[in-house]
Each structure stands twice: as structure tokens, then as C-alpha cells.
Amino acid sequence: MSDKRVMPRHIAIVMDGNGRWAKKRFLPRIAGHARGVEAIRRTIEGCLARGIEYLTVFAFSSENWNRPSEEVGFLMNLFMATLEKETDRLHANRIRLKVVGDTSRFAPELQDAIVRAQKKTADNSALTLTVCANYGGQWDILQAARHLIRNGIGAEEMTTERLASSLALSYAPDPDLFIRTGGEKRISNFLLWQLAYTELYFTDTYWPDFDDSELEKAIVSFQTRERRFGKTSEQLV
């Protein structure tokens, strides 16, 4: 059983394997995406029950535009429909929703729905759910640097702290635990800066099959890790 006293504050997840989950069942890839929404719901519940403060999920990467246009279109519609369907439930559960990424490329109606959902849930504090959409770690670092330069920050004033505070997720502590489902062992341009000292956990389970016991396994694994942050073991005791 996981230990309540040493829960990660922030869990970040690459929700991968929807397409393969569907293919295994002779279903179209999009069926896997639709089922993936249920896994997000379960994971939110699991985080709420454990008192985890921040959950960040990778929903659509900067590179996912390279997929067939029908799949991209389905994902956009699914995002819109899920926002419309779930925002009230998020709000009732005191969840603050943040959508992070270059949303300017989305349809105006989707952009409006994102703004509305974020506004409605802005003062909630049980859990901060961040959905990374048209997000890329490289985009994030670039937009932070541009923001600082635009504000007249010169080379000498460019510090780690300044850059970190201009990143899209500056309101959250860096993730303690990174989970990637679907078997691939890569970051795929997710939170490049913020994952510097995050504990990494990979599972072959496809995202639509991810449930509370999978979340529990990841947290238990996290709790066996010694986080040294460059120090020696001896210095930690």
C-alpha cells in the first residue's frame, strides 16, 4: 500500500497507447481515444482520494498535428465535447482546470470553451488538473525566453528562476512522478525543463486500461526511490 505521508505533490502523465488498445480489439484508433477519457476520470478520482495536489496530462503534442487529419479532427471534437460534459463535474469536485499549450491554433469555439472552463474553476483548490494541449517542451522554453526578452531582460539578467517563472506551468511545483503508459520509454517533447529531477515510471499498460491499481503501483514505485538531487545518500539522513 502507498504511504499517505509521502505522496507525490505533482504527477505528470503521458497518456499513450490509445491507438494500440483499439487495434488489439479490431476497433478504429479513435475508439481508443474515446475510452481514454474514462481513464482520465479514474485517475482524477485516484488523485483526489490520495490528496495529490497537481495532476498534469499530455493530451495533444505539438507533433500530433502530423497525424491523419480525421484523427486530429476527432481529437479536437473529443476535447470540446469532454470540456462541455465534464466542466460541471470538475467544478463540483473543487478541481481547478488549466489548459496549457499553444491554444491559438485551435478553432475559436474550442478556445472559448477552454477560457470558460478555466474561468469557472479558477478558484478551486482540491486539485489542479493541467491538460497539455498543442503543448511541447521546446515550445514552452522558447515562449518563456521570448517573453523575457520582450520584457527587456538581457543576457546577464536571464536566470534559471526567471526562466522557470515564465514557463507555462509556473503555478505548479515541478512534477515528482512522471508516468508514461503504452510501453515507450521516451519523453516525446513533454515537460522538458520541469522533468529535470522527476522520478520516471514506465508501464506497458495502454492508457485506456490504466486504473486505480496501476496508479497505486506507480506511486508505490515512486515511494521506493531515493531522491538525492545531486547529493550523496549519506547527506540525506
Binding-site ranges for ligand IPE (CB under 6 A): 14-20, 58-61, 64, 75, 182, 184, 186, 188
Whole-number minimum distance, CB 188 to ligand IPE, in Å?
A: 4
Do 97 and 118 touch, CB atoms closer than 8 A? Answer: yes
Choose between 14 and 113: whose C-beta lies nearer to ligand IPE.
Answer: 14
What distance in Å separates the CA atoms of residue 142 and residue 40, rounded to the nearest whole number? 29
- What does DSSP assign to residue 155? G
Choose between 85 and 186: whose C-beta lies nearer to ligand IPE.
Answer: 186
189 catalytic, yes or no?
no
Catalytic residue selected from 16, 140, 174, 176: 16
Choose between 7 and 98: whose C-beta lies nearer to ligand IPE.
Answer: 98
Q: Is 16 in the site for Mg ion (CB under 5 A)?
A: yes
Whole-number minimum distance, CB 191 to ligand IPE, in Å?
A: 12
* Residue nearest Mg ion, CB atom distance: 16
Q: For 106-129, give the DSSP string.
A: S-HHHHHHHHHHHHHHTT--SEEE
214, interface contact from ligand IPE, Mg ion, none, CB < 5-8 Å by kind? none
Output the CA angle 122-151-141, nearest 5 degrees: 65
Per-residue cell: 155: 543576457
Sheet holding 177-180, edge to edge: 95-100, 127-135, 54-61, 10-14, 177-180, 199-202
Catalytic residue selected from 3, 18, 64, 211: 64
Strand ranges for 34-188 from DSSP E:
54-61, 95-100, 127-135, 177-180
* H or E element in which residue 68 lies: none
What distance in Å separates the CA atoms of residue 40 and residue 86, rounded to the nearest whole number? 11
75, interface contact from ligand IPE, Mg ion, none, CB < 5-8 Å by kind? ligand IPE
58, interface contact from ligand IPE, Mg ion, none, CB < 5-8 Å by kind? ligand IPE
Give me the residue label for grid cell 482540491: 126
Choose between 35 and 96: whose C-beta lies nearer to ligand IPE.
Answer: 35
* Residue nearest ligand IPE, CB atom distance: 19
Of the ranges 16-24, 85-93, 158-166, 172-180, which one interacts with Mg ion (CB under 5 A)?
16-24
Q: Which spans of this chain sit near Mg ion (rule: CB under 5 A)?
A: 16
Active site residues: 16, 64
